[in-house]
């Protein structure tokens, strides 16, 4: 499952972004940044874009502070096998 997580923005800002991006992917509206903080993402990672792949048990399996579609696809493929 792919889920967009939006940290620190209001619901209105997030909804406008999703509308402008023409996406229908489900989006977690993490306005208080509680989910973001729960995974204690290292400070040296740029805030956007950030790819985090979490397995079924809640373990981070991939973390990237830059756009890396190939890396994301590879990790997801490996996890699905």
Encode pLDDT of 10-46 as tens digits: 888 888 888 887 877 777 788 887 877 777 666 655 5
User: Does residue 24 sit in the same domain as residue 50?
Assistant: no
Query: What percent of the chain is modeled with pLDDT above 70?
Result: 81
Q: How far apart are CA 5 and CA 69, in angstroms?
A: 17
pLDDT category at 1 given cuts 50, 70, 90 is low
Residue 33 is encoded by which pair of tokens? 């940044």
Domain span including residue 51 = 44-81
User: Does residue 49 sit in the same domain as residue 78?
Assistant: yes
Please give the mean pLDDT across all residues of the chain.
78
Residue 2 is encoded by which pair of tokens? 């792919």
Q: What is the mean pLDDT of residues 59-77?
A: 83
Residues with Cβ within 8 Å of residue 24, at least 6 apart in sequence: none
């Amino acid at each position: 499952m792919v889920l967009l997580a939006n940290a620190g923005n209001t619901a209105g800002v997030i909804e406008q972004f999703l509308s402008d991006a023409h996406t229908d992917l489900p989006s977690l509206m993490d306005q208080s940044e509680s989910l973001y903080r729960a995974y204690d993402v290292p400070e040296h990672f740029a805030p956007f874009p950030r790819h985090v792949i979490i397995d079924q048990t809640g373990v981070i399996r991939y973390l990237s502070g830059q756009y890396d579609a190939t890396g994301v696809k590879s990790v997801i493929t490996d996890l699905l096998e």
